[in-house]
Amino acid sequence: MAEPITYLEAIRQGLWEEMERDRRVFMLGEDIGVYGGAFKVTKGFLEKFGKERIIDTPIAESGIVGAAIGASLMGLRPVAEMQFIDFIACAFNQITNFAAKSRWRYGAGVPIVIRGPAGGGVRGGPFHSQNPEMYFVHTPGLKVVAPGTTYDAKGMIKAAVRDEDPVIYLEHKYLYRLPRIKEVLPEEDYTVPIGKAAVRREGTDISLITYGSMQLHCLDAAEALDKEGVSAEVIDLRTLLPLDADAIEATAKKTGKVLIVHEDTRTGGIAGEVTSLINERAFEYLDGPVLRVTSPDAPVPYSAALEDFFLPNTQKVMDAARKLAAY
């Protein structure tokens, strides 16, 4: 019987298997080789795959992503690590202008993966805790994924490596070693398709649409709501671009009441997009306004007192859900 593994180990396994499967796959980033990565995602990779395929680079995020793009144009499958996803801002031009538009401009796909630890809850402060997804969700040509379970973490990194388009793979660092989400994974090769949401919990009265680590709060809230006689469905978006519009439409029509929960800040967050989508596709089915629970419009703070106030939690989800259920 296989042992349950962590979310981080699932990512590591996925990358390892893809590198074994396809010699075109290689990785580049800061401290990923000898050191094994800041979070040890690439521990042991250098020894196994050699320095030709596990490349320690200078501190140059735009250079790293640019080099990944160039190599992908030549037929390789680079996986670029951002040591913290916050630093992806330095590579914004390469990602949004070069990688995202190449296929559309002149027919060349850029099959690269840019991955790194995102999200808060670890007292990392404003430059080690961000949720940068929406900078990229607004860019046609990119795919943005944010797995929230151990199974998905592995299946989606494998799907990302095999994808023909540039994928931003956001791994939530709060989940990296969280015992609660350890899982026994299948021994055989599997992928989790990009662009498909998952129903994490079936329900009939209210829909909680979420992704990443926030689904834990949603599941806990759903559990508590159940005791109050409210049946909540929990949808994990998993992919933020392209959005699974069908799954969103289906759950909105099913329950007629939707609460969107995300850790990213409020203005311009994915909740606004999901709300519009529901308005366009399921307005007549709604029995209340589409509500959202998000972080406030502020940088992610450092102090525990501040960050705990800042982040959504089970209580905030419960409060909003009760309000919505009462309509």
Partner 1 sequence: MSKAARKESRRKQPPGARTAPEARPAKGLSPDKQLDIYYYLKLNRMVEERLSALYRQGKVQGGLYGSKGQEAISVGSAYALAPQDVLAPMIRNLGAMLVRGVKPVEFFLQYMQKEGSPCKGRDTSLHFGGIDRGFVPPISPLGTLVPVLTGVALAGRMLGRKLVAMTYIGDGATSTGDFHEGMGIASVMRLPLVVIIENNRWAYSTPVAAQSLLTDLAEKARAYGIPQGVVDGNDVLAVHEATESALDLARQGKGPVLLEAKTMRMRGHSEHDDAWYVPEEERRFWEKRDPIALYEKRLVDQEVATPEELAAIVERCTSEIDRDLAVAEAAPSPRPESCIEDIYAPLADPGSEEAAPKTPASARRS
Residues that bind partner 1 (CB under 8 A): 20-24, 26, 52-53, 55, 57-58, 60, 62-78, 93-94, 97-98, 101, 103-109, 140-141, 143, 158-159, 162-165, 189-191, 193-195, 242
Per the annotation, the verdict on 172 as an active-site residue is no
> In angstroms, what is the minimal distance from the CB of 215 to partner 1?
23
- CA 189 to CA 30: how far, in whole Å? 29
* Beta strands 143-145; 167-172: pairing state: parallel
Nearer to partner 1, 77 or 292 (CB): 77
- The alpha-carbon radius of gyration of the chain (Å, integer) is 19
First and final C-alpha spacing in the chain: 48
> In angstroms, what is the minimal distance from the CB of 96 to partner 1?
10
- CA 64 to CA 56: how far, in whole Å? 10
Coil, helix or strand at residue 12: helix
Sheet containing strand 54-56, edge to edge, reads 54-56, 25-29, 77-81, 113-118, 167-172, 143-145, 239-241
Nearer to partner 1, 64 or 88 (CB): 64
Nearer to partner 1, 64 or 248 (CB): 64
> In angstroms, what is the minimal distance from the CB of 225 to partner 1?
35
Coil, helix or strand at residue 321: helix
The pair of three-digit structure tokens given for residue 238, joined into one six-digit string? 């998993």
> In angstroms, what is the minimal distance from the CB of 47 to partner 1?
17
Nearer to partner 1, 120 or 166 (CB): 166
Contact by Cβ (8 Å): 143, 242: yes
Nearer to partner 1, 189 or 280 (CB): 189
Chain position carrying tokens 């388009």: 165
**What is the residue type of 300?**
V
Contact by Cβ (8 Å): 251, 119: no
Helix (H) or strand (E) holding 210: strand 206-210
The pair of three-digit structure tokens given for residue 56, joined into one six-digit string? 């320690």
> In angstroms, what is the minimal distance from the CB of 258 to partner 1?
26
Nearer to partner 1, 69 or 250 (CB): 69
Q: Which of 128, 172, 217, 262 is catalytic?
A: 128
- Residue 291 has φ and ψ, to the nearest 5°, of -110, 165
Active site (catalytic) residues: 128
